[in-house]
Structure 1
Amino acid sequence: MKTLKKLPLAIQTFAEIRENPYCYVDKTPLIARLIDAGKAYFLSRPRRFGKSLLVDTLKELFEGNRALFEGLYIHDKWDWSKSYPVIKIDFASGILQSRKQLDERIEIILTENQQRLGVESGNQRADIPGKFTDLILKAREKYGQKVVVLVDEYDKPILDNIDYPERAAEVREGLKNIYSVLKGQDAHLQFIFMTGVSKFSKVSLFSGLNQLKDITLDENYATICGYTQQDLETVFAGHLADVDWAQLKDWYNGYQFLGEPVYNPYDILLFISGNQRYRNYWFETGNPSFLIKLFQQKAYFLPDLEQLEASEEILDSFDVEAIDPVTLLFQAGYLTIEKAYTGFDGQFLFQLKVPNREVRQALNSHFINGYTQTLASEKLKIQHQVFDSLNQGDLVQLQTVLQRLFAGIPWRNFTHNALPESEGYYASVLYAYFASLNATIIPEDTTNRGQVDMTVMLGDFIYVMEIKLDKSTDYQPQDPNPALQQIQDKGYAEKYSGQGKAVFEAGLVFNRTRRNLVQLDYSDYLKRMAR
């Protein structure tokens, strides 16, 4: 029996992977293209997507460590007679909570590079830009070659303080001290590569560093991080010999950067090492609390996540003073590109989607927490009961479950929040629960006679739902139910009559005073039409 290569779990060092029998996906064809095409690049990818390994691969390549690249695409295409001094700046470790801590960390990073390159320190009284400039010039002089600058997690000090805009802005100004040096030292630089999760505007952070080419959404480099389907079927073939490919794709594939879709490497490695159990491996490593809080503050209508359209401007960058939730969702990896197209005015537009089942279920589970403040144990119980109700066509039980759900929400948590005052809040809570169950949801489902609030599909059932918010102080059940009446009058369910599934029309009425579902009436559309 052939021994399988080891999985490179939590290994971000290229040398360690190449010097040991680890699985390795050869990214050097794309690296070769990158270096041939230019000299200064920026790449944004979600966390744990292989960015640090890519940066370390570039370091070993420019330092001329030929033995590590034997058998790889670039081995016989690289000029090994040259080696370059490499300055590596990495903010991955620790959390910096002030400008002072950032400046101290930068000083340490510059000193470490100075010692590794064996260059003497310059003027100790110089400021940070002066010390960085001195390091570049002395490395160029000692090695007789231009300098390579690699920056990993360039934005982490800002993102660590994103909850505190003033502090984040201070840290951003501190980072300018090093990034601004790169423009002035362009003549002494061979190659620049910067990577991180987010993309801040050039105006706010890079201070005129216009030579950076952004390859975040460049189809030529769409797969420079992440695993393709072919990678899994070749490099990891032995580990995935018996896998259900359709289920694996559904759970973990789907990240698209205008090219071939990719898997998050972290998911795949943990999936294999975890005996092929389907879990939220990648999502569990993050903390989207700030993101959820931002959605609450903006009273975001969650069903809009199903049909998002964005321009390049929205996806391109954000600043700490004005953060768009959609931008943050995209850059953090909770949304990805479904397709790109040209709008009516010639503007390049993107249709966005949640990449896969893992993100969809886990993200909406977090939205439930943020929008309802429900205890985890109670949330799981309700999720099971909502699933059973929808999967069995039991709308009587669904009404009981939803009433218990809204009755259990601690409304004191919303005393300074306008969320529950709108119909959209109730639709958002329902959406989050349905989406966390991996149901298919079509919000604002259009027909030739208008649009219904939400169509939900699960198992053998289709639910066409209209939601209304009653503002009376003493609600009395209405006959007919106005929400159900609207569905029937407008014929919203007609488009689903030939699907071979049971179709229910459901009218839900919430009352603002009671803050609960006060009436749910339904009808079986196919039976009603057969009468």
Structure 2
Amino acid sequence: MSLQALPIGINTLSVIREQDMVYIDKTPLVWQMTKQPARFFLSRPRRFGKSLLVDTLKELFEGNRALFEGLYIHDKWDWSKSYPVIKIDFASGILQSRKQLDERIEIILTENQQRLGVESGNQRADIPGKFTDLILKAREKYGQKVVVLVDEYDKPILDNIDYSERAAEVREGLKNIYSVLKGQDAHLQFIFMTGVSKFSKVSLFSGLNQLKDITLDENYATICGYTQQDLETAFAGHLADVDWAQLKDWYNGYQFLGEPVYNPYDILLFISGNQRYRNYGFETGNPSFLIKLFQQKAYFLPDLEQLEVSEEILDSFDVEAIDPVTLLFQAGYLTIEKAYTGFDGQFLFQLKVPNREVRQALNSHFINGYTQTLASEKLKIQHQVFDSLNQGDLVQLQTVLQRLFAGIPWRNFTHNALPESEGYYASVLYAFFASLNATIIPEDTTNRGQVDMTVILGDFIYVMEIKLDKSADYQKQTPNPALQQIQDKAYAQKYIVGEQTVFEVGLIFNQVQRNLAQLDWRKL
């Protein structure tokens, strides 16, 4: 029996259904959303199936019954009604000014007007006036309340995020159109807005408080993405011989307070790519702004291993005050590991990197940003660092790390104080170790204090202490104070009971040399 075609890059329900492509039935959750008038907002990372969900809603409200035969919602929906649908989509192109945004909005409103067969009103009206006129005339013509679907609602802002003034101007332009929805609430049956980021309601929606945010609603946790059951049923033929544990390790793990899901884009490309494990979902991403933000804030990268944040951090993205952790979460580089109530009754989240693919991609970006290393040289160093750690070869590790820091073009950091701190060197080491899928325990605690970093790879455990020396003429120190601290505090003692070989490693970086000046170790 031939396998169904894969809907790679297809965000149109009619194409998927008419061409008998694999389709994961999300209509049980769609039914929960649509069975009564409602207004929803959903944030999900890129390539998670948001646009297909928007198109599914459009086909449903327009009453295209044939597309839903055999799906959960088919015998529940009232097909005797069809609704006028206004679709606003900012996916195509890059808008670099408020003027370009306003021109695009005018085109979008005209396209909807023509599709709905509604005569234009006052051509001299401003954008809110034209949008209002479109809603009122659509309701009058069809005799039903209007459905408004907004896809990529935030893309014009994100396209300009490097330039805060321009981003703020674009945000005001979007507020200009979204604010209409509040005033026309009585004429609207359903609103659905989706995008990557989650801007604060105050900054963008201008009082549109009726939107129900289902981004972190366990009832809708799987409305985008593929579940494990989806893969084992709808994709059973395509994944007949897959190693499920390895597939989960690489691509599963996105959690929105419910069952974990896979990014659909990853799975479709994994199958079509002869089941090769590689970086699919993030290979085309270039989060230069994100990396720049981490540099500006001199962020201590090992902290990404044990992040605890409040709901406010995940909910307060805005162009004037961007928290890099918020950006990581909304871009899909971090996800929720667990949620719990803090000591003061505050709702808290523990975050984690979702899977191996994201971990590899994220730390590769950090290596690029924190070291400015060429891609070819970076790969060579990654291989050598991996071989050193995997074989317990500390002599080679010292040589590789010294070559790494010697090769950093420090002129690129002339106006950046980042390399002046101990945290910078720890962050570079962390990025390299994490990109190799090593287990890293930052600020590893014992009953006598905490060591900077414990790295576990293969048969070896490395308990590392890092110090920054600021002397102009560095002289080798005996004993190595970093190694001595590990021994004095017995940081490695708790690891001796296992079968893995344990190394105590003391690293001293010199601020003037901007390199690893001394590395000593003891094998336990």
Q: Fold match, TM over 0.5?
A: yes
| Counterpart Cα distance in 2 of 1:13 and 1:456 | 46
- Give secondary structure in 2 for the equivalent of 1:180: helix
Aligned residues of 1:483 and 1:509 also touching (Cα < 8 A): yes
| Counterpart Cα distance in 1 of 2:356 and 2:292 | 23
Deviation at 1:285, TM superposition (A): 2.5
- Give secondary structure in 1 for the equivalent of 2:42: strand
Please list the CA deviations of residues 193-252 of structure 1 after superposition, one character each: whole Å capped at 9, or x if unmatched.
Answer: 000000111111000000000000000000000000000000000000000000100000
Deviation at 1:37, TM superposition (A): 6.2
Please list the CA deviations of residues 163-184 of structure 1 after superposition, one character each: whole Å capped at 9, or x if unmatched.
Answer: 0000000000000111000000
Aligned residues of 2:222 and 2:259 also touching (Cα < 8 A): yes
Aligned residues of 1:487 and 1:493 also touching (Cα < 8 A): yes
- Give secondary structure in 2 for the equivalent of 1:120: coil
Identity level (%): 91
- Give secondary structure in 1 for the equivalent of 2:35: helix
| Counterpart Cα distance in 2 of 1:129 and 1:442 | 53
- Give secondary structure in 1 for the equivalent of 2:502: strand
Deviation at 1:470, TM superposition (A): 0.6
- Give secondary structure in 2 for the equivalent of 1:326: helix
| Counterpart Cα distance in 2 of 1:493 and 1:484 | 11
| Counterpart Cα distance in 2 of 1:126 and 1:234 | 53
- Give secondary structure in 2 for the equivalent of 1:284: coil
- Give secondary structure in 2 for the equivalent of 1:505: strand
Please list the CA deviations of residues 374-430 of structure 1 after superposition, one character each: whole Å capped at 9, or x if unmatched.
Answer: 111111110000000000000010000000100111111111101111000000000
User: Structure 1 residues 37 and 454 mapped into 2: Cα distance closer, same or farther (>3 Å)?
Assistant: farther
Aligned residues of 2:462 and 2:503 also touching (Cα < 8 A): yes
Deviation at 1:21, TM superposition (A): 1.5
Deviation at 1:46, TM superposition (A): 0.2
User: Structure 1 residues 328 and 449 mapped into 2: Cα distance closer, same or farther (>3 Å)?
Assistant: same
- Give secondary structure in 2 for the equivalent of 1:473: coil
Deviation at 1:36, TM superposition (A): 3.2
- Give secondary structure in 2 for the equivalent of 1:510: strand
Aligned residues of 2:5 and 2:22 also touching (Cα < 8 A): yes
- Give secondary structure in 1 for the equivalent of 2:193: strand
Query: Partner residue of 1:527?
Result: none
| Counterpart Cα distance in 2 of 1:376 and 1:88 | 42
Deviation at 1:112, TM superposition (A): 0.3
Deviation at 1:317, TM superposition (A): 2.5
| Counterpart Cα distance in 2 of 1:501 and 1:279 | 28
Aligned residues of 1:468 and 1:508 also touching (Cα < 8 A): yes
Aligned residues of 1:336 and 1:353 also touching (Cα < 8 A): yes
- Give secondary structure in 2 for the equivalent of 1:360: helix
Please list the CA deviations of residues 479-524 of structure 1 after superposition, one character each: whole Å capped at 9, or x if unmatched.
Answer: 11000000011010011112210000000000111111011110xx
After superposition, where does 1:301-320 map in structure 2 within 5 Å? 301-320=300-319
| Counterpart Cα distance in 1 of 2:382 and 2:146 | 56
| Counterpart Cα distance in 1 of 2:464 and 2:394 | 12
| Counterpart Cα distance in 1 of 2:403 and 2:345 | 49
Worse-matched range after superposition: 37-46 or 425-434: 37-46
| Counterpart Cα distance in 2 of 1:337 and 1:9 | 27
Aligned residues of 1:216 and 1:257 also touching (Cα < 8 A): yes
- Give secondary structure in 2 for the equivalent of 1:286: coil
| Counterpart Cα distance in 2 of 1:199 and 1:501 | 44
Aligned residues of 2:251 and 2:355 also touching (Cα < 8 A): yes
Query: Partner residue of 1:156?
Result: 155
Query: Partner residue of 2:6?
Result: 7
Query: Partner residue of 1:101?
Result: 100
User: Structure 1 residues 516 and 37 mapped into 2: Cα distance closer, same or farther (>3 Å)?
Assistant: farther
Question: Paired residues, what number?
Answer: 520
Aligned residues of 1:389 and 1:395 also touching (Cα < 8 A): yes
Deviation at 1:281, TM superposition (A): 0.6
Deviation at 1:38, TM superposition (A): 5.4
Aligned residues of 1:198 and 1:317 also touching (Cα < 8 A): no
Query: Partner residue of 1:214?
Result: 213
Aligned residues of 1:383 and 1:433 also touching (Cα < 8 A): yes
Deviation at 1:284, TM superposition (A): 1.1
Aligned residues of 1:165 and 1:320 also touching (Cα < 8 A): yes
Deviation at 1:318, TM superposition (A): 0.9
- Give secondary structure in 2 for the equivalent of 1:283: coil
Query: Partner residue of 2:176?
Result: 177
- Give secondary structure in 1 for the equivalent of 2:475: coil
- Give secondary structure in 2 for the equivalent of 1:507: strand
| Counterpart Cα distance in 2 of 1:36 and 1:463 | 57
Gaps of 5+ in 1: 523-531
Give TM-score, length-normalised by structure 2: 0.99
- Give secondary structure in 2 for the equivalent of 1:521: strand
- Give secondary structure in 1 for the equivalent of 2:283: helix
Aligned residues of 1:169 and 1:320 also touching (Cα < 8 A): yes
| Counterpart Cα distance in 1 of 2:54 and 2:428 | 41
Aligned residues of 2:121 and 2:130 also touching (Cα < 8 A): yes
Deviation at 1:114, TM superposition (A): 0.2
| Counterpart Cα distance in 2 of 1:132 and 1:10 | 30
Query: Partner residue of 1:395?
Result: 394
| Counterpart Cα distance in 1 of 2:211 and 2:144 | 21
Aligned residues of 1:335 and 1:354 also touching (Cα < 8 A): yes
- Give secondary structure in 2 for the equivalent of 1:486: helix
Give TM-score, length-normalised by structure 1: 0.97
| Counterpart Cα distance in 1 of 2:50 and 2:375 | 33
| Counterpart Cα distance in 2 of 1:39 and 1:434 | 47
- Give secondary structure in 1 for the equivalent of 2:230: helix
Aligned residues of 2:37 and 2:189 also touching (Cα < 8 A): no
Deviation at 1:320, TM superposition (A): 0.5
Please list the CA deviations of residues 360-386 of structure 1 after superposition, one character each: whole Å capped at 9, or x if unmatched.
Answer: 011101100100011111111100000
